[in-house]
Chain A
Amino acid sequence: DVKVTQSSRYLVKRTGEKVFLECVQDMDHENMFWYRQDPGLGLRLIYFSYDVKMKEKGDIPEGYSVSREKKERFSLILESASTNQTSMYLCASSLVGVYEQYFGPGTRLTVT
């Protein structure tokens, strides 16, 4: 079974803090994704990576950056957290050319 793990299930941070969300997958998938889920807005793609050190902006990259130094690990960075970044963050992975993505359990981030 594909396993995608995220470093924290719940996180509370203060406005202006730098926040790191970590994601690890164990199935040697080339693609990794970061989404945020908000009520009424569904899942929106923040960034995705198709290889180590390769990344592409998604639909809502503003205020976020990513890092992929190893194939199995994909990090989402909030450079200076703001209250409008309070959300559920979901990481996913997939093989190249395969539509199905496997998701982690999510990190509920609250920025106060």
Chain B
Amino acid sequence: DQQVKQNSPSLSVQEGRISILNCDYTNSMFDYFLWYKKYPAEGPTFLISISSIKDKNEDGRFTVFLNKSAKHLSLHIVPSQPGDSAVYFCAASDSYNTDKLIFGTGTRLQVFP
């Protein structure tokens, strides 16, 4: 069973607009969440994270929101740029398994001019 789900396999956004990528999870023990970005033929790179004690974390154009009651997190990119075009993975972990991450299936974001 998929504990971390990204239900949108792809998203297309115009340059300058907001991109919103969504992620849902089922395990209530998850207490730390990360977003990774992956370009073709490269490994994923860490983008931003959030602890379950927060509901928002911001880093420049990237903001992650966490809704624990809904078991839902989202990544907002504002403004979107063509260089943001990549596959985005959300990942989750819990305090008892800090060494392992559970990844979602990924969302391919395309930002067009």
Interface residues of A (CB under 8 A from B): 4, 9, 31, 33, 35, 40-45, 48, 50, 58, 90, 92, 94, 96-106, 108
Question: By the criterion CB–CB under 8 Å, are B34 and A99 in contact?
Answer: yes
Question: By the criterion CB–CB under 8 Å, are A31 and B41 in contact?
Answer: no
Taking the nearest CB of chain A, how far is it from the CB of B5, in angstroms? 9
Taking the nearest CB of chain A, how far is it from the CB of B65, in angstroms? 18
Question: By the criterion CB–CB under 8 Å, are A100 and B41 in contact?
Answer: no
Question: By the criterion CB–CB under 8 Å, are A100 and B46 in contact?
Answer: yes
- In the complex, whether B89 has a CB less than 8 A from a CB of chain A is yes
Please tell me the number of chain B residues within 8 Å of chain A, measured between CB atoms. Answer: 23
- In the complex, whether B43 has a CB less than 8 A from a CB of chain A is yes
Question: By the criterion CB–CB under 8 Å, are B9 and A104 in contact?
Answer: no
Could you give 11 example pairs across A and B, Cβ below 8 Å?
A41-B105, A42-B104, A42-B105, A43-B91, A45-B100, A45-B101, A48-B100, A92-B43, A99-B93, A101-B101, A106-B41
Question: By the criterion CB–CB under 8 Å, are A90 and B41 in contact?
Answer: no
How many A-B contacts at CB < 8 Å in the complex?
59
Question: By the criterion CB–CB under 8 Å, are A90 and B98 in contact?
Answer: no
Taking the nearest CB of chain B, how far is it from the CB of A41, in angstroms? 6
* CB-CB contacts below 8 Å: B34-68 with A: 34, 36, 41-46, 49
Of the candidates B44, B98, B99, the one whose C-beta lies within 8 Å of that of A103 is B44
A99 and B106 in contact (CB under 8 A), knowing A9-B41, A43-B89, A104-B43? no
* Seed contacts A105-B41, A106-B41; 6 additional CB < 8 Å A-B pairs: A31-B99, A43-B89, A43-B91, A44-B103, A99-B98, A106-B42
